[in-house]
Amino acid sequence: MAKERASMRFQADLSPKDAAILESLKSELDVRSNAELLAQALAIISWLVRERRSGHTVASIDRENRVRELVSPFVERAAVEYKPPSDQIDWTPQELASLAELASAEPREPTKELVAAMTGRGPILDSLRSGPELLARTEELAAKPHLSEQEQLEEVRLKKLKERAKGQMETLVAQAKILH
C-alpha cells in the first residue's frame, strides 16, 4: 500500500482588506474553509499558467460578446512569448564618464525654480501629494472581480489623473534639466 503524503500546513498574514476579500469569497462561493478556497484558487491558477504556456490568451466574454483579456504580470511570466523586461543602453565612453561623475558627486540643492514648481498648487500637483491614497484606491478597485458602473467611471478618472500627473512630473524633470 502506497504511503500517503502528509498535508502541508500553510499560514498567511493578510491585510485587513485581503482578509475581508477572503471572507467575502468564502461566503459568496459557499466555501467552508480557507484550505478549500486555496485549493480552488490553485486549480484556477494552474489552469491559467497551462493556458499561457500553450500560447493561449485568457479572457472573459460578456453577454454582448465583449472580450476582456486577463492582464496579469504574474501570469504572463508563464507565457510562451514572455521575455523579462530589459533594456540595452549603448553608452559612449564620454556618457559613462559623465554618469560616473554625477553618481559620485554630492547632491546639489534644488534650484529656486524647481522648489517653486514642486510647491505650487494645482489639481495635478495636488494629486501627486495625495498619491498614496489614490494608489490605494486604484489597487482596491483592481482587486475587485466586478466593478459597478460608478466604480468603472472612478477607475477611468483615476487612470487619467495618473497619466496627467506623470506628464506633469516629466515636464518638471525636463525643466530641472534645462535649468542645470
Condensed to tens digits (0 to 9), the pLDDT of residues 107-163 reads 778 777 766 666 665 555 555 566 677 778 888 888 888 888 888 888 888 888 777
Q: Is residue 100 in a domain?
A: no
Task: Tell me which of 84, 100, 117 is where a domain ends.
Answer: 84
Q: Are residues 115 and 180 in the same domain?
A: yes
| Domain around 155 | 109-180
Q: φ and ψ at 68, to 5 degrees? A: -125, 110
Show Cβ contacts of residue 10 under 8 Å, excluding neighbours closer than 6 positions.
Answer: 35, 38
- C-alpha 73/C-alpha 5 separation (Å) is 33
Q: Are residues 177 and 122 in the same domain?
A: yes
Q: Are 51 and 58 in contact (CB under 8 A)?
A: yes
- C-alpha 84/C-alpha 20 separation (Å) is 33
